[in-house]
A and B are shown apart, each in its own frame.
Chain A
Amino acid sequence: MEAASDIPPGTLYLLVLKTLARLGAMHGYGIAQYIQQTSGDVLQVEEGSLYPALQRMLIKGWVIAEWRQSENNRRARYYTLTPKGRKQMARELHKFQRGTAAITRVVEA
């Protein structure tokens, strides 16, 4: 198996936002798992950067958090996207696409 790669700088927010957009409400562990699985185990989300990022998104008002009962009767903090977060996601996506397109052009030139 190829070694898991780090998440490219500046894209963690995008990944989290996108994950929440797809899953609806999800807890931190679930988000990390989803990103890891969906990326085919290529992207490894460090807890050390995930939780500060979630806090930051709370401050910015992109997500809201609430405690819920999870599947096997455990309490967990679930994050949900806000309308502001959705807008932010579009912005981040646009930025990301521009960035990758540019990189692609340079790399393939």
Chain B
Amino acid sequence: MKELWRRIQWIFHRAEFDRELEDEMRDHLERKAEETGDAQKAHRDFGNITLLKEKSRGMWTWTFMEQLAKDARYAFRTMTANKLFTALAIVSLALGIGANAAIYSFLDAILLRALPVKHPEQLAIFYWRSGTKDEPGVVHDHSGSAHLDDTGVLVSPDYPYRAYEFLRENNQVFSSLFSYANAGQLNLIIDGQAELKEGQYVSGNYFSGLGLAPAAGRFISPEDDNAGAAPIVDISYSFWQRRFGGRLNALDKTILINGKPFTIAGVSPPEFFGLRPQSAPAFFLPVRFAASVVLNPYMDEKKLFASEHAYWIEMAGRLRPGVTLARAQAELSARFQQWVSSTGSTEQERKTLPKLWLQKGRSGMDALRREYSKPLYTLMIMVVLILAIACANLANLLLARGAARRSEMAVRLSLGAGRLRISRQLLTESGLLSLVGGVLGILVAAAGIRSLTLLLANGEPNFTLHAELDWRVLGFTLAVTLAAGFLFGIAPAIQATKLDLTPSLKEARAGSAITKRRRIGAMHVLVIGQIAISLVLVTAAGLFVRTLVNLYSVNVGFNRDKLLVFSLDAWKAGYSDQARINFYAELRRRFALLPGVVNATLSGMPLLADWTSRTDVIIPGAHNSEDKPLSTARIRVGPAFFETLQIPIRAGRAFDERDTAGAPKRAVVNEIFVKDYLAGLSPIGRHFTLGSKETATDLEIIGIAGNSRYSSLKRDISPLVYTSCLQAVQNRTLQEAYFELRTAGNPLALANTVRRVVHDLGPRVPIADITTESKIIDGTIAHERTFADLCGCFGALALLMACVGLYATQAYAVARRTNEIGIRMALGAERGRVLWMVLREVLMLSGIGVLIGLVIVWQTTTVLRSFLFGLKPHDPATLVIAAGILIICAVLAAYAPARRASRIDPMVALRYE
């Protein structure tokens, strides 16, 4: 070992070594010349100095490199001599390594990579936590995002602008505190050409706070973020490249954003995509222009910048050097507490104040991580298990080969070959195998990343997750490859060289039972391990597939087939309330008349698209008070909605031509609403109040609709109120409309007809996302489908590899026992008995493997609970089926070797060598 170390050192100090050698020889010559007085003779005696130097240097390198090359050549020869087995080992390794690299690249992109900004570790992102699952009372308007964390508490990154100003001015822990907000899709008009692009509002200190330098031009500065400032915009690098070809004359160009002129001032750096890893804004606007650009009627200038109850702006800050996140959290939460408690006006509001919560900002916002971290870690574990199975196959291959080469090893050892030397040669073989596997694995990974991106994006056009095969992933792959080759090569190598020479040399004839048993024992352990792991993976696959089946068989309460869905926003095209309603109504009428359309309707939101709109209701006579209002889901629907969706009306009537804008406001409720809120009351004709305070609307119930799923397949059906979208409810008129067309044939075939109809009636109104209801529903269960697909593949792969391992082991065992089986048969054993003898062993092995696997499953599948729907992690049917599949596959894999054993001709077998 030390010798190797000295050699390695030599490689790094080669120049020094040469110099020293030269000095040494010169010294030698001088001495010699002095002594003999004849420099020429000294030189002659010394001989060829260069050659001598070569020779001395050769001492260090020659053997080492030469041996390595020899080993590699030899390994290559043995590999090609055993083609089938080598191919199986390499393919399983390539699949295992490739799957690992692919999943790792996503893990890296989503969970590990830092933002491309200066000192990302100094960044902190602001969130607040409500004490409960509900929004705090002080939040009157909320535009942005919120989610429930693991403990069921509502978490959101959105703050009032006033709070931002207050915290920015009153803290000692941040060197810079900046803010930003999602602008959503805005209408960009460049040189008269319109397109929808995602934008982001950023405060004047946003780019300086992140420590970014513009790729061109200049960034938005604090001076640009003032009410009176000239409107400028920074565009993203990719948008600059795509739309302007990266030309500098894009700067100072004036473009229209939602009809307002903005001058392009600069370009953000190419690798920067904002603080959300999943979004890629095409442009950045100063926060001050939020009110004038986005025509959000419910958030005017005053509300955005002066209200203490409008929560919409997100914040992040750069910690001063030496300030820890904990200290910043302590100081700022106290500050925010002080500010927010002054905004609470009622007892209820003061009781439920949001609490400031700082999070590390190194990798940006955590929405993607939250969504994907658990699935990705689960997948990572699965692919590691698959790699383990692949490695077990490799080890099995090497063990079997080692056994076949016992005599060879014994001869070499007895002729004086070093144990280390032979181990090194065997390790070269396993290393070469895994290296080839690794190279192929990179190809598998590249394909895997591509298809996984498609799978995860699930048709979303704005999916911007950039997983790629970068040096990190390649490094990871290399590490995995070498580890696999070394770990699973070392044991067989040790075993191969730990020979008792004499019996091994003799073994060729007699067969020494004990050592052979031990070797087969090692192979059996590997096979049992493979079967246990396969059972875990097959069970997981089974659970996910059954989850998917359960989701598909959920009764949604309406007919989801042949339903074309698309959205229009006439409001963004400038239609006033009444004009919009008339426009939508006329469009619906025209759609209904189209050939191939059975029925047409519209609604305020798509069904089963994970959208929800909830409001308080007050029902006179029911058990509720104004303190603790009941809450209901709600949806605005157009004429013929129940007919088109085929939701049955259980009592009363659906909306019809009587329910116009001027008519009394009416509602249809679902059966659960009646059951939960109107127990014992007669529903039809009853009045109730939707919403609270100034927007409260009185509604009369005119009908009861059958229960149907509203936002998600997984959520239980909750009380639901339908209102007519022709009527303004809670002072709001329908803004964006979702049209649903029941078609006779393939819904998407009507897409162009629908576009033409819309264009004829309202050429300025763009039509978005023409899709079908089935596709919308599929979109909401994309994770489950991805999981079912991937785990199905993984399970099948694991099963296949385990079968290969089992087949190989049994084939090897049968070959080794040819002699013994021949004797048994010569002594009268029947073919059936021999067959059974082999199969019995397989059954035992797979039985043990399945039992171990079941124990593991029992211990681990509970972590999958959150991915499952309609079944428990210990679903007995799935477990039984998985175990059955494994045992059947095991028997099938072993059948060929078993049959071969039973066909052995005793006469041939006894002579078999």
CB distance from A92 to the nearest CB of B (A): 17
Of A51, A52, A61, A75, the contact of B6 (CB 8 Å cutoff): A61
Number of A residues with CB within 8 Å of any CB on chain B: 20
User: Is B55 in the interface zone, CB < 8 Å from A?
Assistant: yes
Asked if A61 meets B27 with Cβ closer than 8 Å, knowing A48-B55, A52-B55, A52-B58, the reply is no
User: Is B627 in the interface zone, CB < 8 Å from A?
Assistant: no
CB distance from B267 to the nearest CB of A (A): 59
Asked if A51 meets B25 with Cβ closer than 8 Å, knowing A56-B59, A59-B60, A61-B2, the reply is yes
**How distant is the Cα of A22 from the Cα of B512 in the complex, in angstroms?**
53
Inter-chain contact B27/A29, CB cutoff 8 Å: yes
Of A48, A58, A74, the contact of B27 (CB 8 Å cutoff): A74
**How distant is the Cα of A100 from the Cα of B258 in the complex, in angstroms?**
103
Can you name the residue of chain A whose Cβ is closest to the Cβ of B59? A55
Quick one: CB contact mask for B14-45 with A, threshold 8 Å, 1 for yes?
00000011011101101110000000000001
**How distant is the Cα of A15 from the Cα of B56 in the complex, in angstroms?**
19
Inter-chain contact A61/B20, CB cutoff 8 Å: no
Most B Cβ at <10 Å: residue of A29, A46, A56, A76? A29
Q: Which residues of A contact B21 (CB under 8 A)?
A: 51
Q: Which residues of B contact A76 (CB under 8 A)?
A: 24, 27
**How distant is the Cα of A50 from the Cα of B21 in the complex, in angstroms?**
12
User: Is B626 in the interface zone, CB < 8 Å from A?
Assistant: no
Inter-chain contact A47/B52, CB cutoff 8 Å: yes
User: Is A94 in the interface zone, CB < 8 Å from B?
Assistant: no
Inter-chain contact A47/B46, CB cutoff 8 Å: yes
**How distant is the Cα of A58 from the Cα of B60 in the complex, in angstroms?**
9
Of B3, B20, B57, the contact of A77 (CB 8 Å cutoff): B20
Inter-chain contact B3/A60, CB cutoff 8 Å: yes
Can you name the residue of chain B whose Cβ is closest to the Cβ of A28? B28
Inter-chain contact B30/A74, CB cutoff 8 Å: yes
CB distance from A16 to the nearest CB of B (A): 14
Quick one: CB contact mask for A15-45 with B, threshold 8 Å, 1 for yes?
0000000000001110000000000000000
Of B23, B48, B52, B60, the contact of A51 (CB 8 Å cutoff): B52
**How distant is the Cα of A61 from the Cα of B45 in the complex, in angstroms?**
29
CB distance from A37 to the nearest CB of B (A): 12
Asked if A29 meets B32 with Cβ closer than 8 Å, knowing A47-B52, A59-B60, the reply is yes
CB distance from A69 to the nearest CB of B (A): 12
Can you name the residue of chain A whose Cβ is closest to the Cβ of B24? A77
Asked if A27 meets B47 with Cβ closer than 8 Å, knowing A51-B21, A55-B56, the reply is no
Asked if A47 meets B45 with Cβ closer than 8 Å, knowing A59-B6, A59-B59, A60-B3, the reply is yes
User: Is B7 in the interface zone, CB < 8 Å from A?
Assistant: yes
Inter-chain contact B27/A55, CB cutoff 8 Å: no
**How distant is the Cα of A103 from the Cα of B21 in the complex, in angstroms?**
38
CB distance from A106 to the nearest CB of B (A): 24
Q: Which residues of B contact A46 (CB under 8 A)?
A: 47
Asked if A52 meets B20 with Cβ closer than 8 Å, knowing A29-B28, A61-B3, the reply is no
Asked if A29 meets B31 with Cβ closer than 8 Å, knowing A60-B3, A61-B6, A77-B24, the reply is yes
Quick one: CB contact mask for B573-585 with A, threshold 8 Å, 1 for yes?
0000000000000
Inter-chain contact A59/B27, CB cutoff 8 Å: no
**How distant is the Cα of A60 from the Cα of B63 in the complex, in angstroms?**
13
Inter-chain contact A75/B23, CB cutoff 8 Å: yes
**How distant is the Cα of A59 from the Cα of B59 in the complex, in angstroms?**
8
CB distance from B58 to the nearest CB of A (A): 7
Asked if A59 meets B28 with Cβ closer than 8 Å, knowing A48-B55, A52-B56, the reply is no
**How distant is the Cα of A74 from the Cα of B31 in the complex, in angstroms?**
10
Can you name the residue of chain B whose Cβ is closest to the Cβ of A55? B59
Tally of A-B Cβ pairs under 8 angstroms: 60
Q: Which residues of B contact A55 (CB under 8 A)?
A: 56-57, 59-60
CB distance from B420 to the nearest CB of A (A): 14
Inter-chain contact A51/B55, CB cutoff 8 Å: yes
**How distant is the Cα of A56 from the Cα of B6 in the complex, in angstroms?**
11
* Chain B stretch 53-91: residues in CB contact (< 8 A) with chain A: 55-60
**How distant is the Cα of A9 from the Cα of B24 in the complex, in angstroms?**
25
Quick one: CB contact mask for A57-85 with B, threshold 8 Å, 1 for yes?
01111000001000000111100000000
Q: Which residues of B contact A60 (CB under 8 A)?
A: 3
Can you name the residue of chain A whose Cβ is closest to the Cβ of B64? A59
CB distance from B520 to the nearest CB of A (A): 40
Q: Which residues of B contact A54 (CB under 8 A)?
A: 56
Q: Which residues of B contact A51 (CB under 8 A)?
A: 21, 24-25, 52, 55-56
**How distant is the Cα of A76 from the Cα of B51 in the complex, in angstroms?**
21
**How distant is the Cα of A51 from the Cα of B24 in the complex, in angstroms?**
10
CB distance from A25 to the nearest CB of B (A): 14
**How distant is the Cα of A46 from the Cα of B25 in the complex, in angstroms?**
13
CB distance from A68 to the nearest CB of B (A): 11
**How distant is the Cα of A57 from the Cα of B20 in the complex, in angstroms?**
16
CB distance from B590 to the nearest CB of A (A): 91
Can you name the residue of chain B whose Cβ is closest to the Cβ of A61? B2
Asked if A28 meets B24 with Cβ closer than 8 Å, knowing A51-B52, A51-B55, the reply is yes
Inter-chain contact B47/A47, CB cutoff 8 Å: yes
Most B Cβ at <10 Å: residue of A54, A61, A77? A77
Quick one: CB contact mask for B456-475 with A, threshold 8 Å, 1 for yes?
00000000000000000000
CB distance from B418 to the nearest CB of A (A): 13
Inter-chain contact A27/B25, CB cutoff 8 Å: no
Q: Which residues of A contact B48 (CB under 8 A)?
A: 48
Inter-chain contact A48/B52, CB cutoff 8 Å: yes
Can you name the residue of chain A whose Cβ is closest to the Cβ of B47? A48
**How distant is the Cα of A76 from the Cα of B574 in the complex, in angstroms?**
94
CB distance from B90 to the nearest CB of A (A): 36
Can you name the residue of chain B whose Cβ is closest to the Cβ of A51? B56
**How distant is the Cα of A74 from the Cα of B33 in the complex, in angstroms?**
14
CB distance from A67 to the nearest CB of B (A): 8
**How distant is the Cα of A60 from the Cα of B31 in the complex, in angstroms?**
28
**How distant is the Cα of A75 from the Cα of B24 in the complex, in angstroms?**
9
Q: Which residues of B contact A27 (CB under 8 A)?
A: 24, 27-28
Can you name the residue of chain B whose Cβ is closest to the Cβ of A30? B31
Q: Which residues of A contact B30 (CB under 8 A)?
A: 74
Q: Which residues of A contact B25 (CB under 8 A)?
A: 47, 51
**How distant is the Cα of A108 from the Cα of B400 in the complex, in angstroms?**
54
Can you name the residue of chain A whose Cβ is closest to the Cβ of B3? A59
Q: Which residues of A contact B23 (CB under 8 A)?
A: 75, 77
Quick one: CB contact mask for B874-907 with A, threshold 8 Å, 1 for yes?
0000000000000000000000000000000000
Can you name the residue of chain A whose Cβ is closest to the Cβ of B54? A52
Q: Which residues of A contact B28 (CB under 8 A)?
A: 27-29, 47
**How distant is the Cα of A29 from the Cα of B27 in the complex, in angstroms?**
8
Most B Cβ at <10 Å: residue of A47, A60, A67? A47
**How distant is the Cα of A78 from the Cα of B582 in the complex, in angstroms?**
104
Q: Which residues of A contact B2 (CB under 8 A)?
A: 61
21 A-B contacts (beta carbon < 8 Å): A27-B24, A28-B28, A29-B27, A29-B32, A47-B25, A47-B28, A48-B46, A48-B52, A51-B25, A52-B58, A55-B59, A59-B3, A59-B6, A59-B7, A59-B59, A61-B6, A75-B23, A76-B24, A76-B27, A77-B23, A77-B24
- 20 more contacts with CB within 8 A, not counting A29-B27, A59-B3, are A27-B24, A28-B28, A29-B31, A46-B47, A47-B45, A48-B46, A48-B48, A48-B55, A51-B21, A51-B24, A51-B25, A51-B55, A51-B56, A52-B59, A56-B59, A59-B6, A61-B6, A75-B27, A76-B24, A77-B20
Chain A residues within 8 Å of B, Cβ to Cβ? 27-29, 46-48, 51-52, 54-56, 58-61, 67, 74-77
What 10 A-B pairs come out closest when comparing CB atoms? A55-B59, A29-B28, A29-B31, A77-B24, A52-B55, A55-B56, A51-B56, A56-B59, A47-B46, A48-B47
